[in-house]
């Protein structure tokens, strides 16, 4: 199901056209303005997959009548020509100049509904919506209108769409080969709530006569009846997520555990049980949205994106699978088989496979140029460092716009962050706290500076908007490069301190820190006599030559 994920994604991420499918899976958190501490609308995105992201800026542009966008296949043949609109908006990453932000997770759904003849992948639809829409509701219209006319070329997707007042979830899946359009439904989150989705469709029942809060394709139910996915005479309510992405023990564990973990941390008072994500028969699905126990700051949302289920029975820093130093990462494949029995590692929100992530902040209380902030980071959310990019800027930090998978480069922020995170896995329990201390130092400074930066920007905005743009661009570029420089220093520091199995308190003064006693006890249970220094009372085993 996931083998066809991200058709065409490299077109946007790596600036090539119609690339082959790659594996990817993602996590989104959505926060309405009434659920945030400062009235921000917030969405997040951890874009997980084996690729090297390059941050992009698309400038606003005017287009002549008759101008088109061409979509070609791998052989260079034109698949479609889509008329350009008179004006397109500027886009920083996945946020446009009107504070509109979009993210996604792939749920895959029914394989037979994938349409290889469709023109537009979800990534292309997101990009077009950001260039053409001012609000979340407009973005839904852009996406679904283009799909109806040109066809949808992706598996099932859950798409988060946020503007400065509202946040919506749009879930969409194709209709199979040769059939344009898509089966979709979109719901607006009630103010004061938060939501989360992670590679599994989440919208269940939905109102058919509430256009203010719910939009849907007119055939979304009749198509399911036609295909035999839903029988109205069954007495069961139509649930989009169950019809187009049927729950299984595999996708419940893989996806719903992440949703549960966000909800349990944001609203511990709900005491949501783990039963559904462990596929206990009869367990109720988690609600589409909840009210958090307290209003969330941007920093709180960043913290929710950093999670290995610490403090729960699924804590990935515990157990023999975490190794001697409590490493939270698990190497792919996630699913594996021993003696004919299938197993799976836990799939956390924070994973080493993350290419980039963001936390978007949209605020109606400020002009668009200042109110929209795209907090951006690369690699694992747990060890990344988010820095601000205001949605009005017209240049980006160079270290986030360069690099490739095939060659390591100190000029690439992604490679520098990967180097630090991978090296930390040698002594995770020791090194990660040091990484997180630098992360906290930098992010805290950005939050502390934010009111002063924005007050200055607001003053400039009233007198010289172009000077304001230059000021914010310089601030964002400078501090993005500051993060990269600081991470290079961190890499050098960690390599010097944790070297050859020693830990150096002062340069040139190594300390033999060894292994934790709990892990040594496990070693001795497996090999009780091999490492003892007392004389053996039995004959030592003979060594055998192995060809």
The reply to whether 35 and 151 lie within a common domain is yes
The reply to whether 233 and 381 lie within a common domain is no
Last residue of a domain, one of 262, 284, 307: 307
Number of domains comprising the chain: 2
Q: Which residues contact 322 (CB under 8 A, 6 or more apart)?
A: 316, 328, 428
CA-based end-to-end distance of the chain: 42
**Candidate from 66-80, 178-192, 319-333 with smallest mean pLDDT:** 66-80
pLDDT at site 73 = 84
Report CA-CA distances (Å) from 279 to 248, 254, 422, 532.
7, 11, 33, 45
**Cβ–Cβ < 8 Å for 384, 439:** yes
SS3 of residue 99 by DSSP: coil
Percentage of residues of the chain with pLDDT beyond 70: 93
SS3 of residue 64 by DSSP: coil
Write out pLDDT tens, residues 440-488: 999 999 999 999 999 999 999 999 999 999 999 999 999 999 999 999 9
Residue 390 lies in a domain: yes
Range of the domain at 275: 2-307
Residue 525 lies in a domain: no
Confidence of residue 85 (pLDDT cuts 50, 70, 90): very high
The reply to whether 239 and 150 lie within a common domain is yes
pLDDT at site 9 = 37
The reply to whether 105 and 243 lie within a common domain is yes
| Mean pLDDT across the chain | 93
The reply to whether 301 and 398 lie within a common domain is no
pLDDT higher than threshold 80 for residue 18 = no
Write out pLDDT tens, residues 250-306: 999 999 999 999 999 999 999 999 999 999 999 999 999 999 999 999 999 999 999
The reply to whether 279 and 387 lie within a common domain is no
Residue 154 structure tokens: 């992706």
Last residue of a domain, one of 261, 288, 307: 307
533: left (phi over 0), alpha (psi -120 to 50) or beta: alpha
Quick check: pTM over 0.85? Answer: yes
Residue 333 lies in a domain: no
pLDDT higher than threshold 60 for residue 215 = yes
The reply to whether 373 and 301 lie within a common domain is no
Residue 527 lies in a domain: no
Whose CA is closest to 176, among 239, 94, 244, 106?
Answer: 244
pLDDT at site 488 = 98
Residue 167: its H or E element: strand 167-173
DSSP type of residue 323: T
The reply to whether 170 and 284 lie within a common domain is yes
Residue 89 lies in a domain: yes
The reply to whether 45 and 194 lie within a common domain is yes
Write out pLDDT tens, residues 393-432: 999 999 999 999 999 999 999 999 999 999 999 999 999 9
State how far the Cα of 94 lies from the Cα of 53, in Å rounded to an integer: 13
pLDDT at site 258 = 98
**Cβ–Cβ < 8 Å for 193, 158:** no
Residue 355 lies in a domain: no
Residue 534 lies in a domain: no
The reply to whether 151 and 246 lie within a common domain is yes
What does the pLDDT average to over 353-374?
Answer: 98
The reply to whether 237 and 382 lie within a common domain is no
Last residue of a domain, one of 307, 334, 358: 307
pLDDT higher than threshold 80 for residue 7 = no
What does the pLDDT average to over 218-222?
Answer: 98
Residue 39 structure tokens: 């009235």
Residue 404 lies in a domain: yes
What does the pLDDT average to over 136-165?
Answer: 97
The reply to whether 293 and 413 lie within a common domain is no
Task: Determine phi and psi for 474, rounding to 5 degrees.
Answer: -60, -40
State how far the Cα of 78 lies from the Cα of 15, in Å rounded to an integer: 18
């Amino acid at each position: 199901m996931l083998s066809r994920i991200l058709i065409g994604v490299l077109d946007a991420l790596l600036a090539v056209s119609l690339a082959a499918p790659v594996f990817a899976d993602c996590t989104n958190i959505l926060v309405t303005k009434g659920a945030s501490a400062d009235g921000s609308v917030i969405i997040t995105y951890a874009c997980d997959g084996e690729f090297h992201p390059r941050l992009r800026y698309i400038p606003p542009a005017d287009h002549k009548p008759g101008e088109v966008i061409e979509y070609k296949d791998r052989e260079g043949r034109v698949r479609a020509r889509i008329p350009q609109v008179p004006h397109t908006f500027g886009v920083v990453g996945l946020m446009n100049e009107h504070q509109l932000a979009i993210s996604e997770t792939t749920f895959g759904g029914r394989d037979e509904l994938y349409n290889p003849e469709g023109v537009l992948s979800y990534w292309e639809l997101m990009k077009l919506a950001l260039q053409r829409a001012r609000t979340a509701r407009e973005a839904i219209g852009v996406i679904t209108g283009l799909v109806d006319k040109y066809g949808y070329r992706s598996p099932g997707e859950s798409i988060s769409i946020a503007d400065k007042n509202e946040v919506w979830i749009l879930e969409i899946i194709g209709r199979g080969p040769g059939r344009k359009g898509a089966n979709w439904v979109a719901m607006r989150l009630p103010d004061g709530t938060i939501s989360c989705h992670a590679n599994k469709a989440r919208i269940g029942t939905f109102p058919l006569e509430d256009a203010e809060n719910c939009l849907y394709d007119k055939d979304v139910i009749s198509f399911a009846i036609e295909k035999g996915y839903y029988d109205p005479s069954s007495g069961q309510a139509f649930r989009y997520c169950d019809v187009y992405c049927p729950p299984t023990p595999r996708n419940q564990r893989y996806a719903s555990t992440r949703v549960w973990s966000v909800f349990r941390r944001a609203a511990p008072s709900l005491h949501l049980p783990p039963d559904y994500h462990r596929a206990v028969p009869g367990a109720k699905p988690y609600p589409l949205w909840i009210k958090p126990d307290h209003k969330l700051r941007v920093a709180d949302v960043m913290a929710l994106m950093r999670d290995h289920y610490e403090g729960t029975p699924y804590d990935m820093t515990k157990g023999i699978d975490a190794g001697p130093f409590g490493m939270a990462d698990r190497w792919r494949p996630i699913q594996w088989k021993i003696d004919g029995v299938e197993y799976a590692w836990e799939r956390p929100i924070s994973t080493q496979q993350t290419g980039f992530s963001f936390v978007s902040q949209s605020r109606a209380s400020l002009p668009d140029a200042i109110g929209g902030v795209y907090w951006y980071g690369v690699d694992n959310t747990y060890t990344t460092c988010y820095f601000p990019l205001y949605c009005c800027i017209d240049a980006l930090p160079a270290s986030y716009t360069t690099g490739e998978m095939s060659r390591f480069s100190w000029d690439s922020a992604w490679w520098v962050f990967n180097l630090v995170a991978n090296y930390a896995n040698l002594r995770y329990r020791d090194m990660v706290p040091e990484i997180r201390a630098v992360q906290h130092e930098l992010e805290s400074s950005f939050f502390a500076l934010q009111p002063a930066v924005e007050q200055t920007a607001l003053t400039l905005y009233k007198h010289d908007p172009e000077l304001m743009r230059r000021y914010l661009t310089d601030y964002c570029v400078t501090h993005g490069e500051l993060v990269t420089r600081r991470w290079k220093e961190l890499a050098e520091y960690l390599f010097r301190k944790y070297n050859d199995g020693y830990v150096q308190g002062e340069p040139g003064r190594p300390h033999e820190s060894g292994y934790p006693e709990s892990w040594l006890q496990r070693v001795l249970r497996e090999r009780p006599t091999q490492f003892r220094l007392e004389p053996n009372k039995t004959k030592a085993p003979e060594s055998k030559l192995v060809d």
